[in-house]
Chain A
Amino acid sequence: MNLEDYRTLFAATTLALVLIATLPTVGMIVSIPSGKEQFSELWLLGPTHMAEDYPFNVRVGEQYRLFVSVGNHMGYSAYYLVYAKFRNQTDPLPDTLDATPSPLPALYEFQAFIMDGETWEAPLTFTFLNVSRLGNSSVVSEMSINDVVFSVNCSSNSGYYQLFFELWLYDTSLQEFQYHSRFVGIWLNVTD
């Protein structure tokens, strides 16, 4: 190596060290996007806080317990809304292709602010209060969710109903809640 080569090596090393020294300042001014996938989770747990023992054969007047949970991986603290809806086998579910919610009216709702990387959970108890039967078909007139009584008037030829939950996310640019293309539910066979 001649002197010119040594000079270049010295200059390059000094420049590299200067750049390293300025990194903390650059890091405070420029925010680098993480590039990780942004998503939310919605799930239900059974009465024992596990993904088991979900109520299926439910009796009128008895109370059943579930846990609704939401996980935030959106990269920011998000404002969520969870709607609880009730349907028979023919009532429409949310459309997964069009990402549109079910047109059924919401009975109960939860609202939660969840920081990035954190989860939220709420207990939910439900009871069928007024169910009339005629042969195999049945009509659920009244049910309570977390001790609030709702008029339902939902009939089913088979006796099967679904309690399902839709996840909505507050969009800060649109300034309104948008359906977040996630729903989860349990089937219920209402017996006497």
Chain B
Amino acid sequence: MNRRVVARYLFFLVLFIFIAPCFVTTVTISSNGDLAESTIKNGEHVMVLAYQAVLEAERAGANVSNLFTELNVASEYLAQAQILYRVGDLDNATRFADLCSRTAEKVKSEADLVTNMARVESGTRLGFVMIGSAITACSISVAGLLSWRVFKRRYYQRVLMMKPEVVSDES
């Protein structure tokens, strides 16, 4: 009886030892796949945030050509990650997606900084241009008014200096 129990126990133990690696491999592949997928998703998300930040910087009037160059490097990493994920190279897909996230995050923070600087700069420039325009407009108005007065005075002088024309009355 005891021998039968021990034999059964040994049978299940051996069976478990042979089957266990299959479960472990499946779980490992699945978790690698999940990790790669989530890292790529994160890469895509960070990339979009970086793109929006660079667009904002561009709208604020900043020079963003360097930021776009860096963003293109990040996009190459992301494309590579997508391709490798498609062919099943999950480790490298994760690595490239991670590189993409890091590069895009760097671009985003640089873009935010550049946007703030550009906003301050454009605010200052707008202030100067507004003051310049206001001074010019006032000067033109005053000059217009003064020149009108001078013109009016000369006009009256000319009219007053006119002599009445003698017309012969033939009737």
Contact = CB atoms under 8 A, between A and B. Distances in A.
Interface of A: 3, 6-7, 10-11, 13-14, 17-18, 21-25, 28-29, 76-77, 79, 105-115, 120, 148-151, 170, 172, 175
B75 A18 contact: no
A111 B52 contact: no
Q: Which 5 A-B residue pairs are closest in the complex by CB-CB distance? A: A14-B144, A111-B75, A21-B136, A25-B133, A111-B79
Interface range on chain B: under 10, 10 to 19, 20 to 34, or 35 or more? 35 or more
Contact of A112 (B65, B72, B155): B72
B54 interface: yes
29 contacts: A6-B152, A6-B155, A7-B148, A10-B144, A10-B147, A13-B144, A14-B141, A17-B144, A22-B133, A22-B137, A25-B129, A25-B133, A28-B129, A79-B51, A79-B75, A106-B86, A109-B83, A111-B79, A112-B72, A112-B75, A113-B68, A113-B75, A114-B68, A115-B68, A148-B84, A149-B87, A150-B87, A170-B51, A172-B52
Contacts of A18: 137, 140-141
Interface string B55-68: 10010000011001
Given A14-B141, A21-B137, A109-B79, A77 B151 contact: no
Nearest to A146: B83
A108 B137 CA distance: 60
Nearest to A16: B140
B13 interface: no
A105 B85 CA distance: 13
Q: Is the interface of B mostly helix, strand, loop or mixed?
A: helix
A109 B79 CA distance: 6
Contacts of A3: 152, 155
B82 interface: yes
A2 B64 CA distance: 59
A88 B55 CA distance: 40
B10 interface: no
